[in-house]
Amino acid sequence: MSVRSDSLERFITGVKKRNPGEPEFHQAVEEVAASIIPYIQDKPIYQEMQILERMAEPDRAVTFRVCWEDDNGNIRVNRGYRVQFNNSIGPYKGGIRFHPTVTLSVLKFLGFEQTFKNSLTGLPMGGGKGGSDFNPKGKSNNEVMRFCQSFMTELNRHIGENTDVPAGDIGVGAREIGYMFGQYKRLTNEFVGVLTGKGLEFGGSLIRTEATGYGTIYMLDNMLQHAGNGMEGKNIVISGSGNVATYAAEKCHQLGAKVLTMSDSSGFIHDPAGIDEEKLAYMVDLKQVRRGRIKEYADKFGCEFHEGRPWNVPCDVAVPCATQNEISGDEAAALLKNGCMAVSEGANMPTELTGINAFQDAGILYAPSKAANAGGVAVSGLEMSQNSARISWKEDELQDLLKGIMKDIHDNCAEYGQKGDKVDYLAGANIAGFVKVADAMLAYGVV
Ligand code: NDP
Ligand code: 2IT
Protein backbone atom coordinates (compact mmCIF):
# COMPACT_ATOMS: atom_id res chain seq x y z
CA MET A 1 0.00 0.00 0.00
CA SER A 2 1.40 3.43 -0.91
CA VAL A 3 1.88 6.14 1.72
CA ARG A 4 -1.06 8.07 0.28
CA SER A 5 -3.59 5.26 0.20
CA ASP A 6 -2.39 4.23 3.66
CA SER A 7 -3.18 7.68 5.10
CA LEU A 8 -6.53 7.77 3.28
CA GLU A 9 -7.35 4.36 4.75
CA ARG A 10 -6.39 5.52 8.25
CA PHE A 11 -8.39 8.72 7.92
CA ILE A 12 -11.53 6.94 6.69
CA THR A 13 -11.25 4.27 9.37
CA GLY A 14 -11.22 7.07 11.97
CA VAL A 15 -14.23 8.80 10.41
CA LYS A 16 -16.19 5.52 10.39
CA LYS A 17 -15.30 4.81 14.00
CA ARG A 18 -16.42 8.25 15.18
CA ASN A 19 -19.61 8.18 13.10
CA PRO A 20 -20.98 4.62 13.24
CA GLY A 21 -23.98 3.71 11.10
CA GLU A 22 -23.67 6.73 8.78
CA PRO A 23 -22.84 5.23 5.35
CA GLU A 24 -23.81 8.27 3.26
CA PHE A 25 -21.62 10.52 5.40
CA HIS A 26 -18.67 8.09 5.16
CA GLN A 27 -19.09 7.99 1.37
CA ALA A 28 -19.09 11.79 0.96
CA VAL A 29 -16.03 12.21 3.20
CA GLU A 30 -14.14 9.43 1.43
CA GLU A 31 -14.77 10.95 -1.99
CA VAL A 32 -13.39 14.31 -0.85
CA ALA A 33 -10.50 12.91 1.20
CA ALA A 34 -9.26 10.90 -1.79
CA SER A 35 -8.55 14.23 -3.53
CA ILE A 36 -7.44 16.27 -0.52
CA ILE A 37 -4.98 13.86 1.13
CA PRO A 38 -2.67 13.71 -1.93
CA TYR A 39 -3.01 17.49 -2.33
CA ILE A 40 -1.92 18.31 1.24
CA GLN A 41 0.91 15.77 1.18
CA ASP A 42 3.47 18.55 0.59
CA LYS A 43 1.56 21.24 2.56
CA PRO A 44 2.36 20.35 6.19
CA ILE A 45 0.48 23.31 7.70
CA TYR A 46 -2.90 21.76 6.73
CA GLN A 47 -1.80 18.48 8.29
CA GLU A 48 -0.36 19.97 11.47
CA MET A 49 -3.51 22.01 12.03
CA GLN A 50 -5.71 18.93 11.38
CA ILE A 51 -7.78 20.89 8.87
CA LEU A 52 -9.36 17.93 7.06
CA GLU A 53 -10.14 16.18 10.36
CA ARG A 54 -11.81 19.36 11.63
CA MET A 55 -13.75 19.82 8.40
CA ALA A 56 -15.17 16.31 8.76
CA GLU A 57 -16.76 17.22 12.11
CA PRO A 58 -19.89 19.43 12.02
CA ASP A 59 -19.91 22.52 14.24
CA ARG A 60 -23.19 21.19 15.67
CA ALA A 61 -26.23 19.10 14.82
CA VAL A 62 -29.62 19.58 16.46
CA THR A 63 -32.50 17.14 16.33
CA PHE A 64 -35.97 17.84 17.58
CA ARG A 65 -39.50 16.46 17.81
CA VAL A 66 -42.04 17.83 15.36
CA CYS A 67 -45.66 17.20 16.37
CA TRP A 68 -48.59 18.08 14.13
CA GLU A 69 -52.21 17.13 13.68
CA ASP A 70 -53.42 15.44 10.47
CA ASP A 71 -56.79 16.13 8.82
CA ASN A 72 -58.42 13.28 10.74
CA GLY A 73 -57.41 14.72 14.09
CA ASN A 74 -54.59 12.20 14.69
CA ILE A 75 -51.43 13.47 16.39
CA ARG A 76 -48.36 12.69 14.27
CA VAL A 77 -44.69 12.78 15.30
CA ASN A 78 -41.69 13.34 13.03
CA ARG A 79 -38.05 14.16 13.65
CA GLY A 80 -36.53 17.49 12.59
CA TYR A 81 -32.81 18.23 12.10
CA ARG A 82 -30.43 21.07 11.35
CA VAL A 83 -26.76 20.24 10.82
CA GLN A 84 -24.60 23.38 11.00
CA PHE A 85 -21.46 22.08 9.39
CA ASN A 86 -18.96 24.89 8.89
CA ASN A 87 -19.28 28.69 9.04
CA SER A 88 -15.66 29.63 8.35
CA ILE A 89 -16.44 31.71 5.26
CA GLY A 90 -20.00 32.86 5.98
CA PRO A 91 -23.28 32.02 7.73
CA TYR A 92 -24.38 28.38 7.49
CA LYS A 93 -26.33 27.98 4.25
CA GLY A 94 -28.07 24.99 2.71
CA GLY A 95 -31.42 23.41 1.99
CA ILE A 96 -34.10 21.62 3.96
CA ARG A 97 -35.21 18.17 2.80
CA PHE A 98 -38.55 16.54 3.63
CA HIS A 99 -38.43 12.86 2.65
CA PRO A 100 -38.98 9.59 4.55
CA THR A 101 -35.34 8.56 3.88
CA VAL A 102 -33.92 11.56 5.80
CA THR A 103 -31.51 10.52 8.57
CA LEU A 104 -28.66 12.23 10.40
CA SER A 105 -26.25 10.43 8.03
CA VAL A 106 -27.97 11.86 4.94
CA LEU A 107 -28.00 15.40 6.34
CA LYS A 108 -24.37 15.18 7.45
CA PHE A 109 -23.30 14.09 3.96
CA LEU A 110 -25.29 16.96 2.48
CA GLY A 111 -23.96 19.53 4.97
CA PHE A 112 -20.37 18.39 4.40
CA GLU A 113 -20.77 18.63 0.62
CA GLN A 114 -22.48 22.00 0.95
CA THR A 115 -19.42 23.50 2.66
CA PHE A 116 -17.26 22.77 -0.41
CA LYS A 117 -20.01 23.72 -2.87
CA ASN A 118 -20.68 27.07 -1.24
CA SER A 119 -16.97 27.82 -1.20
CA LEU A 120 -16.85 27.13 -4.96
CA THR A 121 -19.54 29.74 -5.65
CA GLY A 122 -17.12 32.48 -4.53
CA LEU A 123 -19.84 33.93 -2.27
CA PRO A 124 -19.55 34.24 1.53
CA MET A 125 -21.58 31.22 2.64
CA GLY A 126 -20.77 28.38 5.05
CA GLY A 127 -22.31 24.91 4.87
CA GLY A 128 -25.41 23.47 6.55
CA LYS A 129 -28.39 21.23 5.84
CA GLY A 130 -31.62 20.31 7.57
CA GLY A 131 -34.84 18.45 7.14
CA SER A 132 -37.20 15.84 8.42
CA ASP A 133 -38.41 12.31 7.74
CA PHE A 134 -41.84 13.86 7.08
CA ASN A 135 -43.32 12.60 3.79
CA PRO A 136 -45.23 15.37 2.00
CA LYS A 137 -46.57 12.90 -0.59
CA GLY A 138 -50.35 12.48 -0.31
CA LYS A 139 -50.67 15.17 2.39
CA SER A 140 -53.18 18.00 2.04
CA ASN A 141 -52.04 21.61 1.86
CA ASN A 142 -53.30 22.16 5.40
CA GLU A 143 -51.33 19.18 6.69
CA VAL A 144 -48.17 20.43 5.00
CA MET A 145 -48.80 23.90 6.48
CA ARG A 146 -49.29 22.58 10.00
CA PHE A 147 -46.15 20.46 9.69
CA CYS A 148 -44.07 23.40 8.38
CA GLN A 149 -45.32 25.67 11.18
CA SER A 150 -44.46 23.11 13.83
CA PHE A 151 -41.04 22.47 12.25
CA MET A 152 -40.25 26.22 12.23
CA THR A 153 -41.50 26.66 15.80
CA GLU A 154 -38.35 24.82 16.92
CA LEU A 155 -36.01 25.64 14.00
CA ASN A 156 -36.41 29.42 14.40
CA ARG A 157 -34.25 29.50 17.53
CA HIS A 158 -31.28 28.00 15.63
CA ILE A 159 -31.31 30.15 12.46
CA GLY A 160 -31.05 33.83 11.52
CA GLU A 161 -30.10 36.02 8.56
CA ASN A 162 -26.50 36.26 9.81
CA THR A 163 -26.38 32.82 11.45
CA ASP A 164 -27.94 30.16 9.26
CA VAL A 165 -30.10 30.62 6.17
CA PRO A 166 -32.00 27.50 5.00
CA ALA A 167 -33.65 26.99 1.59
CA GLY A 168 -35.43 24.21 -0.34
CA ASP A 169 -34.32 20.72 -1.36
CA ILE A 170 -36.22 17.46 -2.05
CA GLY A 171 -39.83 17.88 -0.91
CA VAL A 172 -39.35 21.55 -0.04
CA GLY A 173 -40.34 24.08 -2.71
CA ALA A 174 -42.07 27.46 -2.86
CA ARG A 175 -45.12 26.24 -0.91
CA GLU A 176 -43.14 24.92 2.05
CA ILE A 177 -40.75 27.92 2.10
CA GLY A 178 -43.81 30.22 2.21
CA TYR A 179 -45.31 28.40 5.20
CA MET A 180 -41.97 28.34 7.04
CA PHE A 181 -41.17 32.00 6.33
CA GLY A 182 -44.64 33.02 7.52
CA GLN A 183 -44.16 31.16 10.77
CA TYR A 184 -40.64 32.58 11.32
CA LYS A 185 -41.96 36.11 10.83
CA ARG A 186 -44.83 35.47 13.21
CA LEU A 187 -42.58 34.02 15.93
CA THR A 188 -39.82 36.62 15.78
CA ASN A 189 -41.70 39.71 14.55
CA GLU A 190 -38.86 40.25 12.07
CA PHE A 191 -39.00 40.47 8.27
CA VAL A 192 -35.48 39.41 7.28
CA GLY A 193 -33.87 37.19 4.65
CA VAL A 194 -33.71 34.14 6.90
CA LEU A 195 -34.77 31.71 4.14
CA THR A 196 -34.06 31.74 0.40
CA GLY A 197 -36.25 30.47 -2.39
CA LYS A 198 -39.01 32.78 -1.15
CA GLY A 199 -41.92 33.96 -3.30
CA LEU A 200 -41.21 37.05 -5.39
CA GLU A 201 -43.80 39.03 -3.38
CA PHE A 202 -41.90 38.62 -0.13
CA GLY A 203 -38.20 38.95 -0.92
CA GLY A 204 -37.54 36.06 -3.30
CA SER A 205 -35.11 36.42 -6.19
CA LEU A 206 -35.87 36.02 -9.87
CA ILE A 207 -34.40 32.83 -11.42
CA ARG A 208 -33.83 31.08 -8.05
CA THR A 209 -36.36 28.43 -9.17
CA GLU A 210 -34.48 27.78 -12.41
CA ALA A 211 -30.95 28.31 -11.11
CA THR A 212 -29.90 24.79 -10.09
CA GLY A 213 -31.04 23.08 -13.29
CA TYR A 214 -29.77 25.86 -15.55
CA GLY A 215 -26.44 25.92 -13.68
CA THR A 216 -26.00 22.14 -14.08
CA ILE A 217 -26.32 22.52 -17.84
CA TYR A 218 -24.06 25.61 -17.95
CA MET A 219 -21.42 23.49 -16.21
CA LEU A 220 -21.93 20.75 -18.80
CA ASP A 221 -21.78 23.25 -21.67
CA ASN A 222 -18.58 24.79 -20.24
CA MET A 223 -16.96 21.34 -19.98
CA LEU A 224 -17.98 20.40 -23.51
CA GLN A 225 -16.69 23.69 -24.92
CA HIS A 226 -13.42 23.36 -23.00
CA ALA A 227 -13.01 19.97 -24.70
CA GLY A 228 -13.77 21.48 -28.12
CA ASN A 229 -17.32 20.11 -28.22
CA GLY A 230 -20.84 21.54 -27.67
CA MET A 231 -24.46 20.87 -26.66
CA GLU A 232 -26.01 20.99 -30.13
CA GLY A 233 -27.56 17.65 -31.13
CA LYS A 234 -26.58 15.78 -27.97
CA ASN A 235 -28.93 13.09 -26.68
CA ILE A 236 -29.46 13.61 -22.95
CA VAL A 237 -30.80 11.23 -20.34
CA ILE A 238 -32.16 13.01 -17.26
CA SER A 239 -33.47 11.45 -14.04
CA GLY A 240 -35.97 13.15 -11.72
CA SER A 241 -38.90 15.39 -12.59
CA GLY A 242 -38.70 17.90 -9.76
CA ASN A 243 -37.22 21.37 -9.53
CA VAL A 244 -33.70 20.54 -10.70
CA ALA A 245 -34.63 18.07 -13.47
CA THR A 246 -37.26 20.37 -14.97
CA TYR A 247 -34.97 23.35 -15.52
CA ALA A 248 -32.02 21.17 -16.54
CA ALA A 249 -34.29 19.74 -19.27
CA GLU A 250 -35.44 23.21 -20.31
CA LYS A 251 -31.87 24.50 -20.67
CA CYS A 252 -30.79 21.40 -22.66
CA HIS A 253 -33.63 22.03 -25.08
CA GLN A 254 -32.77 25.74 -25.36
CA LEU A 255 -29.15 24.87 -26.19
CA GLY A 256 -30.15 22.52 -29.01
CA ALA A 257 -29.87 19.14 -27.27
CA LYS A 258 -32.57 16.45 -27.10
CA VAL A 259 -33.88 15.24 -23.72
CA LEU A 260 -34.91 11.59 -23.97
CA THR A 261 -35.96 10.71 -20.42
CA MET A 262 -37.23 12.00 -17.09
CA SER A 263 -38.21 9.98 -14.02
CA ASP A 264 -39.75 9.85 -10.57
CA SER A 265 -39.65 7.26 -7.81
CA SER A 266 -42.14 5.07 -9.74
CA GLY A 267 -40.07 4.80 -12.97
CA PHE A 268 -39.06 6.73 -16.09
CA ILE A 269 -40.53 7.88 -19.39
CA HIS A 270 -38.54 7.41 -22.60
CA ASP A 271 -39.57 9.87 -25.30
CA PRO A 272 -37.32 9.40 -28.38
CA ALA A 273 -38.92 12.45 -30.04
CA GLY A 274 -37.46 14.60 -27.26
CA ILE A 275 -39.05 16.53 -24.37
CA ASP A 276 -39.65 20.02 -25.76
CA GLU A 277 -40.96 23.20 -24.06
CA GLU A 278 -44.61 22.23 -24.59
CA LYS A 279 -44.18 18.75 -23.14
CA LEU A 280 -42.14 20.22 -20.31
CA ALA A 281 -45.01 22.59 -19.47
CA TYR A 282 -47.27 19.54 -19.24
CA MET A 283 -44.68 17.83 -16.99
CA VAL A 284 -44.55 20.86 -14.67
CA ASP A 285 -48.33 20.87 -14.33
CA LEU A 286 -48.37 17.09 -13.78
CA LYS A 287 -45.52 16.90 -11.25
CA GLN A 288 -45.37 20.30 -9.52
CA VAL A 289 -49.01 21.43 -9.60
CA ARG A 290 -51.12 18.26 -9.64
CA ARG A 291 -48.40 16.22 -7.87
CA GLY A 292 -49.21 13.19 -10.08
CA ARG A 293 -47.11 10.20 -11.26
CA ILE A 294 -44.90 10.36 -14.35
CA LYS A 295 -46.66 7.52 -16.17
CA GLU A 296 -49.40 10.01 -17.09
CA TYR A 297 -46.86 11.72 -19.39
CA ALA A 298 -46.33 8.45 -21.29
CA ASP A 299 -50.11 7.98 -21.64
CA LYS A 300 -50.55 11.56 -22.86
CA PHE A 301 -47.70 11.60 -25.43
CA GLY A 302 -47.76 7.93 -26.44
CA CYS A 303 -44.22 7.08 -25.37
CA GLU A 304 -42.79 4.32 -23.16
CA PHE A 305 -42.91 4.12 -19.38
CA HIS A 306 -40.60 1.71 -17.54
CA GLU A 307 -40.10 0.92 -13.90
CA GLY A 308 -36.59 1.48 -12.56
CA ARG A 309 -33.98 4.04 -13.61
CA PRO A 310 -33.13 5.38 -17.08
CA TRP A 311 -29.39 4.59 -17.26
CA ASN A 312 -29.70 1.81 -19.84
CA VAL A 313 -31.10 4.21 -22.43
CA PRO A 314 -28.29 5.00 -24.93
CA CYS A 315 -27.21 8.66 -24.70
CA ASP A 316 -24.33 11.09 -25.13
CA VAL A 317 -24.80 12.74 -21.74
CA ALA A 318 -26.32 11.69 -18.40
CA VAL A 319 -27.71 14.32 -16.01
CA PRO A 320 -28.88 12.69 -12.74
CA CYS A 321 -31.28 15.08 -10.95
CA ALA A 322 -33.24 12.92 -8.47
CA THR A 323 -31.31 11.77 -5.39
CA GLN A 324 -28.15 10.26 -3.90
CA ASN A 325 -26.72 6.93 -5.08
CA GLU A 326 -29.04 6.69 -8.07
CA ILE A 327 -26.20 5.54 -10.41
CA SER A 328 -24.55 2.30 -9.30
CA GLY A 329 -21.24 0.96 -10.58
CA ASP A 330 -23.12 -1.34 -12.98
CA GLU A 331 -25.31 1.50 -14.23
CA ALA A 332 -22.22 3.66 -14.81
CA ALA A 333 -20.73 0.79 -16.83
CA ALA A 334 -23.95 0.53 -18.87
CA LEU A 335 -23.83 4.27 -19.63
CA LEU A 336 -20.21 3.99 -20.77
CA LYS A 337 -20.92 0.92 -22.88
CA ASN A 338 -23.70 2.80 -24.67
CA GLY A 339 -21.39 5.71 -25.54
CA CYS A 340 -22.04 8.26 -22.77
CA MET A 341 -19.23 10.84 -22.93
CA ALA A 342 -20.23 13.34 -20.22
CA VAL A 343 -22.03 13.42 -16.87
CA SER A 344 -23.18 16.54 -15.01
CA GLU A 345 -24.66 15.92 -11.56
CA GLY A 346 -27.74 17.99 -10.69
CA ALA A 347 -28.57 15.84 -7.67
CA ASN A 348 -26.24 15.67 -4.66
CA MET A 349 -23.90 12.63 -4.72
CA PRO A 350 -26.01 10.73 -7.28
CA THR A 351 -23.16 8.41 -8.29
CA GLU A 352 -21.83 5.64 -6.06
CA LEU A 353 -18.03 5.58 -5.57
CA THR A 354 -17.68 2.58 -7.91
CA GLY A 355 -19.58 4.51 -10.58
CA ILE A 356 -17.38 7.59 -10.14
CA ASN A 357 -14.29 5.38 -10.51
CA ALA A 358 -15.74 3.92 -13.72
CA PHE A 359 -16.33 7.40 -15.19
CA GLN A 360 -12.87 8.58 -14.13
CA ASP A 361 -11.13 5.47 -15.48
CA ALA A 362 -12.93 5.87 -18.81
CA GLY A 363 -11.71 9.49 -18.96
CA ILE A 364 -15.15 10.97 -19.78
CA LEU A 365 -16.15 14.49 -18.74
CA TYR A 366 -17.50 14.18 -15.21
CA ALA A 367 -18.78 17.21 -13.24
CA PRO A 368 -19.35 16.27 -9.59
CA SER A 369 -22.43 17.64 -7.87
CA LYS A 370 -20.65 20.13 -5.64
CA ALA A 371 -19.59 22.01 -8.79
CA ALA A 372 -22.40 21.13 -11.18
CA ASN A 373 -25.38 22.00 -8.96
CA ALA A 374 -23.85 25.05 -7.22
CA GLY A 375 -25.94 27.46 -9.32
CA GLY A 376 -28.92 27.04 -6.98
CA VAL A 377 -27.15 28.04 -3.81
CA ALA A 378 -25.28 30.74 -5.73
CA VAL A 379 -28.56 32.46 -6.61
CA SER A 380 -29.63 31.91 -2.98
CA GLY A 381 -26.52 33.90 -2.05
CA LEU A 382 -27.65 36.62 -4.46
CA GLU A 383 -31.10 36.53 -2.83
CA MET A 384 -29.42 37.15 0.55
CA SER A 385 -27.56 40.15 -0.88
CA GLN A 386 -30.76 41.60 -2.35
CA ASN A 387 -32.57 41.12 0.97
CA SER A 388 -29.80 42.81 2.97
CA ALA A 389 -29.72 45.76 0.58
CA ARG A 390 -33.57 45.77 0.30
CA ILE A 391 -33.42 45.81 -3.50
CA SER A 392 -34.37 43.47 -6.36
CA TRP A 393 -32.12 42.83 -9.31
CA LYS A 394 -33.51 42.43 -12.81
CA GLU A 395 -33.79 39.08 -14.51
CA ASP A 396 -31.11 39.69 -17.15
CA GLU A 397 -28.65 40.84 -14.46
CA LEU A 398 -29.26 37.64 -12.50
CA GLN A 399 -29.02 35.45 -15.60
CA ASP A 400 -25.63 37.00 -16.37
CA LEU A 401 -24.46 36.59 -12.77
CA LEU A 402 -25.47 32.90 -12.74
CA LYS A 403 -23.72 32.23 -16.06
CA GLY A 404 -20.62 34.07 -14.83
CA ILE A 405 -20.52 32.16 -11.53
CA MET A 406 -20.83 28.79 -13.32
CA LYS A 407 -18.05 29.80 -15.75
CA ASP A 408 -15.82 30.76 -12.80
CA ILE A 409 -16.60 27.45 -11.08
CA HIS A 410 -15.70 25.58 -14.27
CA ASP A 411 -12.45 27.50 -14.72
CA ASN A 412 -11.49 27.13 -11.07
CA CYS A 413 -12.07 23.35 -11.22
CA ALA A 414 -10.12 23.17 -14.49
CA GLU A 415 -7.20 25.04 -12.94
CA TYR A 416 -6.98 22.83 -9.83
CA GLY A 417 -7.85 19.66 -11.73
CA GLN A 418 -5.51 19.91 -14.72
CA LYS A 419 -3.77 16.56 -15.25
CA GLY A 420 -1.65 16.45 -18.39
CA ASP A 421 -3.92 17.42 -21.28
CA LYS A 422 -7.09 16.43 -19.36
CA VAL A 423 -9.11 17.95 -16.54
CA ASP A 424 -10.04 15.92 -13.47
CA TYR A 425 -13.11 17.95 -12.46
CA LEU A 426 -13.64 15.85 -9.33
CA ALA A 427 -10.22 16.61 -7.88
CA GLY A 428 -10.48 20.19 -9.15
CA ALA A 429 -13.81 20.81 -7.37
CA ASN A 430 -12.69 19.20 -4.13
CA ILE A 431 -9.38 21.05 -3.96
CA ALA A 432 -10.72 24.44 -5.09
CA GLY A 433 -13.56 24.17 -2.55
CA PHE A 434 -11.20 23.05 0.20
CA VAL A 435 -8.51 25.72 -0.11
CA LYS A 436 -10.69 28.74 0.70
CA VAL A 437 -12.33 27.14 3.75
CA ALA A 438 -9.03 25.67 4.95
CA ASP A 439 -7.20 29.01 4.73
CA ALA A 440 -9.98 30.74 6.67
CA MET A 441 -9.71 28.03 9.35
CA LEU A 442 -5.94 28.52 9.53
CA ALA A 443 -6.49 32.25 10.08
CA TYR A 444 -8.78 31.57 13.05
CA GLY A 445 -6.25 29.34 14.86
CA VAL A 446 -7.52 26.42 16.91
CA VAL A 447 -11.28 26.95 17.21
P1 NDP B 1 -37.81 17.76 -5.87
O2 NDP B 1 -38.47 17.33 -4.62
O3 NDP B 1 -38.33 18.94 -6.60
O4 NDP B 1 -37.76 16.55 -6.91
C5 NDP B 1 -37.14 15.37 -6.59
C6 NDP B 1 -37.28 14.40 -7.76
O7 NDP B 1 -36.47 13.26 -7.53
C8 NDP B 1 -38.70 13.87 -7.92
O9 NDP B 1 -38.92 13.56 -9.28
C10 NDP B 1 -38.67 12.61 -7.07
O11 NDP B 1 -39.65 11.63 -7.43
C12 NDP B 1 -37.28 12.09 -7.34
N13 NDP B 1 -36.79 11.34 -6.18
C14 NDP B 1 -36.56 11.84 -4.93
N15 NDP B 1 -36.12 10.86 -4.12
C16 NDP B 1 -36.09 9.75 -4.87
C17 NDP B 1 -35.70 8.42 -4.59
N18 NDP B 1 -35.30 8.04 -3.37
N19 NDP B 1 -35.76 7.52 -5.61
C20 NDP B 1 -36.20 7.89 -6.85
N21 NDP B 1 -36.58 9.14 -7.16
C22 NDP B 1 -36.50 10.05 -6.19
O23 NDP B 1 -36.27 17.97 -5.47
P24 NDP B 1 -35.15 18.81 -6.23
O25 NDP B 1 -35.35 18.75 -7.69
O26 NDP B 1 -35.05 20.12 -5.57
O27 NDP B 1 -33.83 17.99 -5.82
C28 NDP B 1 -33.31 16.93 -6.61
C29 NDP B 1 -31.85 16.72 -6.28
O30 NDP B 1 -31.13 17.94 -6.53
C31 NDP B 1 -31.55 16.37 -4.82
O32 NDP B 1 -30.41 15.53 -4.77
C33 NDP B 1 -31.20 17.73 -4.21
O34 NDP B 1 -30.39 17.59 -3.05
C35 NDP B 1 -30.41 18.35 -5.36
N36 NDP B 1 -30.29 19.79 -5.34
C37 NDP B 1 -31.38 20.61 -5.28
C38 NDP B 1 -31.21 21.98 -5.31
C39 NDP B 1 -32.36 22.93 -5.35
O40 NDP B 1 -32.13 24.12 -5.50
N41 NDP B 1 -33.60 22.46 -5.25
C42 NDP B 1 -29.87 22.59 -5.32
C43 NDP B 1 -28.80 21.64 -5.47
C44 NDP B 1 -29.03 20.31 -5.46
P45 NDP B 1 -41.05 11.56 -6.66
O46 NDP B 1 -41.85 12.73 -7.18
O47 NDP B 1 -41.61 10.24 -7.02
O48 NDP B 1 -40.74 11.67 -5.20
O1 2IT C 1 -28.14 21.27 -2.26
C2 2IT C 1 -28.29 22.51 -2.41
O3 2IT C 1 -27.36 23.23 -2.80
C4 2IT C 1 -29.61 23.08 -2.16
N5 2IT C 1 -30.55 22.35 -1.87
C6 2IT C 1 -29.81 24.57 -2.25
C7 2IT C 1 -29.32 25.25 -1.02
C8 2IT C 1 -29.60 26.73 -0.92
O9 2IT C 1 -29.33 27.26 0.16
O10 2IT C 1 -30.09 27.33 -1.87
Rounded CA-CA distance 392/386 in Å is 6
Q: Say what the pTM is.
A: 0.98
User: Does residue 294 contact residue 265 with C-beta atoms inside 8 Å?
Assistant: no
* Segment (H or E) for 60: strand 60-69
The one-letter amino acid at 6: D
Ligand nearest to the CA of 167: 2
Domains of the chain, first to last? 3-55 (no CATH), 60-190 (3.40.50.10860), 209-367 (3.40.50.720)
Atom 30 of ligand 1 has which residue's CA nearest to it?
Answer: 347
Q: What is the pLDDT of residue 1?
A: 47
**CB contact burial 364-382 (16+ within 10 A = b; e otherwise):** bbbbbbbbbbbbbbbbbbb
* Distance from Cα 50 to the centre of ligand 1, integer Å: 34
Q: What is the pLDDT of residue 4?
A: 62
Q: From the CB of 84, is ligand 1 less than 6 Å away?
A: no
pLDDT along the chain (447 residues), means of 10: 76 98 98 97 96 98 98 98 98 98 98 98 98 97 98 98 98 98 98 98 98 99 98 98 98 98 98 98 96 97 98 98 98 98 99 98 98 98 98 98 98 97 97 98 96
Rounded CA-CA distance 58/73 in Å is 38
- Nearest-5° Cα angle at 29, 28 to 33: 125
Q: What is the pLDDT of residue 5?
A: 78
State the closest ligand 2 atom to the C-alpha of 165, by its place in the atom list counted from 1.
9
Q: What is the pLDDT of residue 276?
A: 97
Determine the angle formed by the axes of helices 353-362 and 23-40, rounding to 10 degrees: 40
Ligand nearest to the CA of 114: 2
Which residues have CB under 6 Å of ligand 2?
93-95, 114, 117, 167, 169, 196, 348, 376-377, 380
Please list, in sequence order, all residues whose beta carbon lies within 8 angstroms of the beta carbon of residue 73, skipping any fewer than 6 positions away: none
